[in-house]
Amino acid sequence: MTDDRGGQSFYDQVGGHETFAALIHEFYRRVAGDPELRALYPEEDLGPAEHRLLIFMEQYWGGPRTYQAERGHPRLRMRHLPYAVTPSQRDRWLRHMFAAVDTINLPEAHDAVLRDYLVRAANMLVNAEEPS
Ligand code: HEM
């Protein structure tokens, strides 16, 4: 697949579906084992949430546009408003995501680009203060 400028997308450069599926699967395995973060996820089965994050990430990085087809415009901030994303929940989310990124062993430059994006996206989604 090519990106807007006719080059190879980040999605392709890092190994496409296989890489993203492994990343998101590793992430949700960690969410499942973290009761405090897990409590935010409304569904008993994390499978559907895993699917939604996977298709979002694949689309974001230049892969198939399945997210747009299934869910429409991402509007991530709005979609997180039902959940209290406090700074400490953000930190948990990011800690598990970074541990998942560790497992896919990307080349250094790609690894840095991915982590930088994840930090910025997670910061953007904080929508609640710490409960006192
Ligand atoms: C900051 C910490 C975060 C927390 C605590 C959090 C929590 C949640 C929760 C509880 C859901 C609902 C689960 C579901 O899909 O059924 C959700 C959905 C989702 N999150 Fe997050 N999230 C965080 C950060 C992020 C980031 C950084 C991204 C993107 C890079 C992201 C992308 C998504 C997507 C795509 C969905 C599904 C939206 C939809 O189509 O309905 N989240 N998140």
Mean pLDDT of 100-119: 98
pLDDT score of 6 = 67
C-alpha closest to that of 52 among 31, 69, 77: 69
pLDDT score of 131 = 85
pLDDT score of 127 = 98
Percent of the chain with pLDDT over 90: 93
Mean pLDDT of 71-100: 98
Pocket test for ligand 1, best of 41, 70, 80 (most atoms within 8 A of CB): 80
Tokens of 110: 């790609």
pLDDT score of 2 = 61
Kindly write down the DSSP assignment for every residue of the chain, as one continuous string.
-B-TTSSB-HHHHTTHHHHHHHHHHHHHHHHHT-HHHHTT--SS-SHHHHHHHHHHHHHHTTS--HHHHHH-S--HHHHHTTS---HHHHHHHHHHHHHHHHHH---HHHHHHHHHHHHHHHHHH--SPPP-
Beta-carbon contacts of residue 88 (< 8 Å; ≥ 6 apart): 130
Pocket test for ligand 1, best of 46, 53, 59 (most atoms within 8 A of CB): 53
pLDDT score of 69 = 98
Contact indicator for 13, 110 with CB cutoff of 8 Å: yes
Closest residue by CA, ligand 1 atom 33: 53
- 10-125: CATH topology is Globin-like (1.10.490)
Neighbours of 28 (CB within 10 A): 20
pLDDT score of 132 = 77
pLDDT score of 4 = 61
Q: Say how many Å lie between the CA of residue 76 and the centre of ligand 1.
A: 7
Average pLDDT, the chain: 96
Q: Give the confidence band of 7 by pLDDT, cuts at 50, 70, 90.
A: confident
Residue range 33-47, pLDDT digits in tens: 999 999 999 999 999
Q: Give the confidence band of 17 by pLDDT, cuts at 50, 70, 90.
A: very high
